[in-house]
């Protein structure tokens, strides 16, 4: 395998790194027009349009709109029918994810100022959330847990899942995960038509306040377009891992960690930073050795050769600086003393600390969410969490005494801005 080698000593290193990281989705005008038309059609014709698209795109011969919904008993049957080891693993993962996310719950607060004016913030859950789950090969039960459980922990009253079932093929693990996470209703629809149904509502599909979950380019485009009508989560780019290693982790482990990212798809990005040049070559040798035994070796090879890199750095300090420059989705800090370096790491979706913490443990069951900011957006955004399913209202209750002082300040500033009604409204309260 021919994985790109870079060194921070190269005079054009920053330019090479920039080129390696560059990823720009090209706007597909035909796709955009198709999505716009589907959204407008579902908004206008509701169930009828959703049924038509589902029959056409998913080849699903639905008798009527009611047939889009899966009975709850079918979800339970999927869960009950799982092999014992899968059932147990799913339950343990769900338990750990729930425990972790409970720590993220935000609560209302308020205080009184010296004049007896009450100021605060009321935190409430969203009423109803839509969860998009892809059909086919990218349908991951773990993803159902990671999207559904934080919503449930937040207290979302109704969680509506949509999942396309092309040709009627259902993923039993996905249905089982939906059952286990407490999803309230499941509809077998997908694509832009499912996003439209959730955003605008139809006679059958309830209108939601926010749509979360991964999807293909049509789904991503539809989500972008309905943003504002409802909330959406982030739009994910290709998945990435950055491993920082001091050179003392088993090179097979590090190679397999890089593989675990690369196996997602050909655009996935896996990068190693190490101050130990001989370790870098050991990891490359491990990768060559291990590749043959991998079921998804073609995807892994393509991803690593096109977008992977093994980067030699001067020292751990420099590794941390470069990591902050990259702001990776997944950051493995595969070193003996990860807590020493943590304070220097500013931007990353999730940080996997120490040699035992493979990314895959976090993907499934450690507890934190696996929906993370990609493409450097960790500079300004966060993992999916309970906070994405809660919102805040500011609270202000001005006391008669407070109204005197605040009325004075507000009226001066309002007159300064030429807003007379603002000033007068404040002065009325000051007068009394």
Largest CA distance in the chain: 83
The distance of closest approach from Cβ of residue 88 to a copy of itself in the complex, given in angstroms and rounded to an integer, is 8
Residue among 313 and 351 whose Cβ is closer to a copy of itself? 351
Closest approach of Cβ 56 to a copy of itself, in Å? 27
Q: Are 247 and 275 in contact (CB under 8 A)?
A: yes
Tell me how far, at minimum, the Cβ of 347 lies from a copy of itself, in Å.
8
Which residue lies nearer to a copy of itself by CB, 55 or 102? Answer: 102
Note if 277 is an active site residue.
no
239 a known binding residue? yes
Residue nearer to a copy of itself on the CB measure, 51 or 398: 398
Give the angle 184-215-199 at the CA atoms, nearest 5°: 55
Which entry of 240, 312, 329, 359 is annotated as an active-site residue?
A: 329
101 is catalytic: no
Q: Minimal distance in Å, beta carbon 118 to a copy of itself?
A: 7
Residue 73 or 112 having the CB closest to a copy of itself: 112
The verdict on whether residue 260 carries a ligand-binding annotation is no
Minimum separation from the CB atom of position 256 to a copy of itself (A) = 4
HEC per residue, the chain: CCCEEEECCCCCHHHHHHHHHCCCCCCCHHHHHHHHHHHHHHHHHCHHHHHHHHHHHCCCCCCCHHHHEECHHHHHHHHHCCCHHHHHHHHHHHHHHHHHHHCCCCCCEEEECCCCCEEEEEEEECCEEEEECCCHHHCCHHHHHHHHHHHHHHCCCEEEEECCCHHHCCCHHHHHHHHHCCCCEEECCCHHHHHHHHHHCCCCCCCCCEEECCCCHHHHHHHHHHECCEEECCCCCCCEEEEEECCCCCHHHHHHHHHHHHCCCCCCEEEEEECCHHHHHHHHHHHHHHHCCCCCHHHHHHHHHHHCEEEECCCHHHHHHHHHHHCCCEEEEECCCHHHHHHHCCCCCEEEECCCCCHHHHHHCCCCCCCCCCCCHHHCCCCCCHHHHEEEEEEEECCHHHHHHHHHHHHHHHHHCCCHHHHHHHHHHHHC
Minimum separation from the CB atom of position 354 to a copy of itself (A): 5
Catalytic residue (choose from 330, 332, 347, 359): 330
Select 59 or 121, whichever has its Cβ closest to a copy of itself.
121
- Asked whether residue 264 is marked as a ligand-binding residue, the answer is yes
Residue 193 annotated as binding site: yes
Determine if residue 261 is labeled as part of a ligand binding site.
Answer: yes
- 382 labeled part of a ligand binding site: no
**Binding-site annotation: residue ranges for NAD(+):** 132, 193, 216
**Binding-site annotation: residue ranges for Zn(2+):** 261, 264, 363, 422
**Binding-site annotation: residue ranges:** 132, 193, 216, 239, 261, 264, 330, 363, 417, 422
**Binding-site annotation: residue ranges for substrate:** 239, 261, 264, 330, 363, 417, 422
Q: Point out the residues that are catalytic.
A: 329-330
């Amino acid at each position: 395998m021919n994985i790109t080698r870079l060194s921070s000593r190269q005079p054009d290193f920053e330019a090479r790194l920039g080129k390696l990281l560059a990823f720009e989705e090209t706007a597909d005008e035909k796709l955009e027009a198709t999505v716009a038309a589907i959204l407008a059609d579902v908004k206008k014709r509701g169930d009828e349009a959703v049924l038509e698209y589902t029959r056409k795109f998913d080849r699903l011969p639905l008798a009527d709109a009611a047939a889009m919904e899966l009975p709850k008993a079918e979800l339970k049957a999927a869960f009950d029918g799982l092999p014992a080891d899968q059932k147990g693993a799913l339950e343990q993962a769900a338990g750990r994810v729930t425990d972790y996310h409970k720590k993220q719950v935000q609560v209302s607060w308020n205080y009184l100022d010296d004049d007896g004016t009450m100021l605060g913030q009321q935190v409430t859950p969203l009423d109803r959330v839509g969860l998009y789950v892809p059909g086919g090969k990218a349908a991951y039960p773990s993803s159902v847990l990671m999207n559904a459980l934080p919503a449930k922990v937040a207290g979302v009253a109704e969680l509506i899942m949509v999942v396309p079932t092309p040709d009627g093929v259902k993923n039993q693990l996905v249905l089982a995960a939906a059952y286990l996470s407490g999803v309230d209703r499941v509809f077998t629809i997908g694509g832009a038509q499912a996003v439209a149904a959730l955003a605008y509502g139809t006679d059958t599909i309830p209108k939601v306040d926010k749509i979360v979950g991964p999807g293909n380019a049509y789904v991503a485009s539809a989500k972008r377009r309905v943003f504002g009508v409802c909330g959406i989560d982030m739009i994910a780019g290709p998945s990435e891992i950055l491993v920082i290693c001091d050179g003392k982790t088993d090179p097979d482990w590090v190679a397999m960690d890089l593989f675990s990212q690369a196996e997602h798809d050909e655009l996935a990005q896996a990068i190693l930073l190490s101050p130990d040049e001989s370790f870098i070559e050991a990891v490359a040798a491990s990768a060559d050795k291990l590749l043959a035994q991998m079921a998804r070796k073609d995807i892994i090879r393509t991803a690593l050769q096109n977008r992977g890199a093994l980067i030699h750095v001067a020292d751990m300090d420099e590794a941390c600086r470069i990591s902050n420059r990259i702001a990776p989705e997944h950051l493995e800090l595969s070193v003996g003393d990860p807590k020493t370096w943590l304070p220097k790491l500013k931007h990353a979706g999730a940080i996997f600390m120490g040699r035992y913490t493979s990314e895959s443990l976090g993907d499934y069951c450690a507890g934190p969410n696996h929906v993370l900011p990609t493409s450097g957006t960790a500079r300004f955004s966060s993992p999916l969490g309970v906070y994405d399913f809660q919102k805040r209202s500011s609270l202000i209750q001005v006391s008669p005494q407070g109204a005197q002082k605040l009325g004075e300040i507000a009226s001066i500033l309002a007159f300064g801005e030429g807003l007379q009604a603002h000033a007068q409204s404040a002065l009325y309260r000051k007068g009394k």
